[in-house]
Amino acid sequence: MLKPIDNCTRQVKSLDGLWRFAVDSPDLSSPWAVSLPGAKECPVPASYNDVFFEPSLRDHVGRVWYQRTITIPKGWDKDQRVFLRFEAATHEAEVYADDQLIATHVGGYTPFEADLHAKPGVEVRITVAVNNILTHDTIPPGTVIQSDTGKVKQKILHDFFNYAGLARSVSLCSVPVIRVEDITVVTDVKGTTGLVRYDVVLRGSADKEQIELIDREGNVVATSTGTPSGTLYVEDVHLWQPGAAYLYTLRVRLFKDSSVVDQYTLAVGIRTIRIEGLQFLINNKPFYFRGYGRHEDTPVKGKGHDNAWMVHDFELMKWSGANSFRTSHYPYDEEVMDYADRHGWVVIDETAAVGLNLNIGGGLFGSGGKITFCDDYASDRTQASHKQAIRELVQRDKNHPSVVMWCIANEPDSGESGARAYFQPLAELTHQLDPTRPVTFTNLGMVPPEKETIGDLFDIISLNRYYGWYEDTGDLEAAEVHLETELYR
């Protein structure tokens, strides 16, 4: 599922802006069939929680409804595929075109699409239900409880607010019937020659495929014709490097009767990743990660993506001397990944698997005695959701040169007896989906090495430690001693 682009064969129309908005209620019957009641409007992209002043909306548990009427541009080709693209809906979505359900999606931080079977020039009423409920079967997990006063509450085990809604962009898109459906790129370097291995998935039958690699000055430096899979060789290659990004453009063109029927371009950074002993090597040079575990939260918009806030945050990180960040604790908007590609940031890309630890409290200390990996909490159903989250993360971000590692869980109870049966298939799946990047999980201090049961499944074990924060609070000298003692014992 390629990111939509606007060019000579593909069209993208932004649907960002104000949508009609209503909270679900027993009185709201078939809201997709009529105009939503009331006068509320909600900006997209934005989390709805902080936009309005009602406490009931900030703490709402359940569905809300978004709605707007769109027109398929009259100039679009009637034979093309027309669809809606949602960059995210937190955490579950139902999409209606007029009175027809056209798509559902579970998972709050990865994109999905919904086909629109409508002709150019036609108006369509789009209604979207977004449900923020987390259960034991979702990633991240959660529990819905009822207070003594009868109020429904969402209980979560992660220490950040459960922002919800259409927090990322929505687009109306059109692509040709004969088209590029997917591209996978893997790069390597041999001496001064760059290798770009490509695998292009096509929809429909073209007479010819042409694959070109174009440098930053617009010169075609490698080309291939007639095969959707192969390798391009780039002499005197410019490497993508931390802090010094160089991006080539991979251009795929499909021909029918000597005419271009589809074209797709993809930014490509040529670089290598490997682990040697205790060193992480990018382009065969040791890389030292200096950076942050971030969040996407901003005032008013919640997790709503905003390019001004994004650039400001990157500038703050650069000012502080950082060179990398971890997408704690969910996949970030793809605009963030594109920016990291262009500016040479190094990224540890993480799923939304936070809260897989019933013995955690306040982000650090275990209370003991509870079983996390069991049929009543992190079960086979949770694992299935976790697998899908991994698939969607790798599918979306596999071609970003900035992404150097997959993190598939944050602070699970990895010392519990059931953890291995839960995590082994997940680690194997991630390696299978992408053999080129290391796979990690983030270990919590309550599971020291002698209690760890899953460490050998991963290429790297990431450590969350709170010396100087929860422990040795404010005493950085003691924090340094205690951290070094743990690392070198």
Domain 179-268 in the same topology as domain 11-175: no
Q: Is the pLDDT of residue 391 over 60?
A: yes
At the fourth CATH level, the homologous superfamily of domain 274-488 is: Glycosidases (3.20.20.80)
Asked if 296 is an active-site residue, the reply is no
Provide the CATH topology of domain 179-268. Immunoglobulin-like (2.60.40)
Identity (one letter) of the amino acid at 262?
D
Q: Mean per-residue pLDDT for 325-351?
A: 97
Range name among 3-7, 142-146, 200-204 with the lowest pLDDT average:
142-146
Q: Tell me the CA distances in angstroms from 106 to 80, 185, 327, 366, 395, one per residue in order.
A: 27, 27, 20, 30, 16
Q: What is the mean pLDDT of residues 359-373?
A: 68
Residue-averaged pLDDT of the chain: 94
pLDDT for 177 beyond 90 = yes
* Mean pLDDT along residues 433-439: 98
User: In this predicted model, which residue has the larger pLDDT, 156 or 127?
Assistant: 127
- pTM of this prediction? 0.95
Q: Supply the DSSP symbol for 165.
A: B
Asked whether the CA dihedral 115, 117, 118, 119 is positive or negative, the reply is: positive
| CATH class of domain segment(s) 11-175 | mainly beta
pLDDT at 448: 86
Confidence bin at 367 (pLDDT 50/70/90): low
Catalytic residue among 87, 94, 411, 416: 411
pLDDT of residue 158: 87
Is residue 48 within 8 A of residue 63, CB to CB? The reply is: no
Question: What percentage of the chain has pLDDT greater than the value 90?
Answer: 88
Q: Assess whether pLDDT exceeds 90 at residue 108.
A: yes
Work out the average pLDDT over 407-432.
96
Burial class for 466, CB neighbours closer than 10 Å (0-12, 13-18, 19+): middle
Which residues, 6+ apart, have CB-to-CB distance to 148 below 8 Å? none
Lowest mean pLDDT among 39-48, 115-124, 188-197, 365-374: 365-374
CB atoms closer than 10 angstroms to residue 135: 14
Q: What is the mean pLDDT of residues 456-480?
A: 93
How far is Cα 448 from Cα 482, in angstroms, rounded to an integer? 14
Could you report the per-residue pLDDT of 11-31, keeping only the tens digit for each? 999 999 999 999 999 889 899
Q: Where are the domains of the chain?
A: 11-175, 179-268, 274-488
List the Cα angle 447/452/455 in 5-degree steps.
125
Quick one: average pLDDT of 105-118? 96
pLDDT of residue 368: 60
How does pLDDT run across 192-213, given as a tens digit for each residue? 999 999 999 999 999 999 999 9
Give the confidence band of 446 by pLDDT, cuts at 50, 70, 90.
Answer: confident
Could you tell me the strand order of the sheet in which 179-190 lies?
Answer: 179-190, 193-203, 229-234
Contact yes or no for 183/266 (Cβ under 8 A)? yes
Residue 45 has a pLDDT of: 97
pLDDT tens by residue, 290-305: 999 999 999 999 999 9
**For position 363, what pLDDT does the model report?**
47
Average pLDDT over residues 437-449: 93
